[in-house]
Structure 1
Amino acid sequence: MSNNKAYKEIAPRLRGIRDAVDMTTTQLAEKVGVEPSLVEKYESGEHEIPVSYLMDVAHVCGVDLTVLISGNESHLTNYALVRKGKGFSVDRRKDYDYKNLASTFVGRRMEPFMIEVPAKKPEDMNFTTHRGQEFIYVLEGKLELRLDDSILILEAGDSLYFDSNTPHAMRGLDEKSARMLDVIL
């Protein structure tokens, strides 16, 4: 699925869920901490939708993140097994390759992802913020992670726990991708 197609498929679910909980774009914007124009932009299906925004909307509207991304309900309540190299691809962001590792589990309290972070130039890094906390464990490669004004270099086996409200951006180093486990709470 191309990224544009993913945006077009996710956007109507965003609008539908907002309508189902009887919220205006202004009310939703206030609850997730963005401008109303940004809510409208994401609901248009023409723009990249950050996973952090989807998580915030899911939380505010009381729905599972899987519903917003795939349109399908989660269904397992006891465990969710994901085999090596699998996981639900979150094909909605050009910066990173996300695979959700618990998309079938109902009532998740965290969102675990396997993320492939490509090499890029420092000026091409995109900062993001979102509610909650985040834990990163580097599996392969070398990762540059910027937290506000701090530049951290993480290698395989290194981990970092941080407040996700801190502006953060990542890139693979040495002209190679880095692979990491990312858990968002």
Structure 2
Amino acid sequence: MRDKVKDVANRIKGLRLLAGFSEEQMAAWLNISKDSYIRYENGEDDIPISIIYEIANIHGVDLTDILTGVSPKLHEVCYVKKGEGLSVERLDEYEFEDLAYKYANRKIEPLLVTLDPKNNPELVIHQGQEFNYCLEGKMKVIIGDKEYELNPGDALYFNPAKPHKMVALDGKPAKFLTVIIL
């Protein structure tokens, strides 16, 4: 995983340098400290997926460009068989599988997410809108000071600009579909 983090970090640094932006500018646009941005860009810290989305938006590139170094090519249909989504190894607390990574100019980002019950992630924020649909297990979604318990078949739509996180319940993994509207 460390090599993948370094590859993503190098692509982010390359985009910044090509655009002529400073580390200070990027940190300010991302609303993080310059030190945090530098650690992300140097591959010293895992970059939250929400930060990668924002970096992609700043540079006008697809998320897939940053994650893989290859631009998505499909414009009509993107067919992804079970288990063949792009593994997005960003945070140890969440296992992401991008289900539309081959489709260019996406307006939504559908991700299959697996929660490990041993993990307690930090709250995150990002732009857009978010939809979560619980597929397996039991999970809790914390949004600001409110908590929502989701069982298979339950759904939640919310503003991800509010600090939020998802955790597995009952000591068992949980799996859910999240759709982020960009």
Indicate whether the TM-score tops 0.5: yes
Moved over 6 A (4+): none
Residue number among 47, 72, 75 corresponding to 1:74 in the alignment: 72
Residue 5 of structure 1: CA displacement?
Answer: 1.8
* Whole-angstrom CA distance in 1 between matches of 2:124 and 2:104: 27
Q: Could you say which residue in structure 2 is the equivalent of 1:39?
A: 37
Does the Cα contact within 8 Å between 1:138 and 1:155 map onto a contact in 2?
yes
Once the two structures are superposed, residues 99-125 of structure 1 have per-residue CA deviations (whole angstroms, 9 ceiling, x without a partner) of: 00111111001111000011136xx33
Q: Distance in 2 between matches of 1:169 and 1:82?
A: 27
* C-alpha separation in 2, matches of 1:57 and 1:125: 21
The Cα shift of 1:41 comes to: 1.1
Aligned pairs, number: 181
Q: Which of residues 163, 166, 176 in structure 1 aligns to 2:159?
A: 163
Q: Distance in 1 between matches of 2:17 and 2:77?
A: 31
Unaligned runs of 5+ residues in structure 2 are none
- Is the Cα contact below 8 Å between 1:95 and 1:118 reproduced in 2? yes
The answer for the alignment partner of 1:151 in structure 2 is 147
Give the Cα–Cα distance (whole angstroms) in 2 for the partners of residues 31 and 91 of structure 1.
24
Shift of 1:35: 2.1
Shift of 1:92: 2.1
Q: Partner letter of residue 165 of structure 1?
A: A
The structure 1 residue matched to 2:81, chosen from 80, 83, 100, is 83
**CA deviation string 1:139-162 (max 9, x = no partner):** 111001111111110000000011
Between the aligned residues of both structures, percent identity stands at 35
Any idea what SS the aligned residue of 1:112 has? strand
Matching of residues 8-157 of structure 1 within 5 Å? 8-120=6-118, 124-157=120-153
Does the aligned pair in 2 maintain the 1:32–1:60 contact within 8 Å? no
Secondary structure of the corresponding residue to residue 99 of structure 1: strand
Report SS of the residue matched to 1:180.
Answer: strand
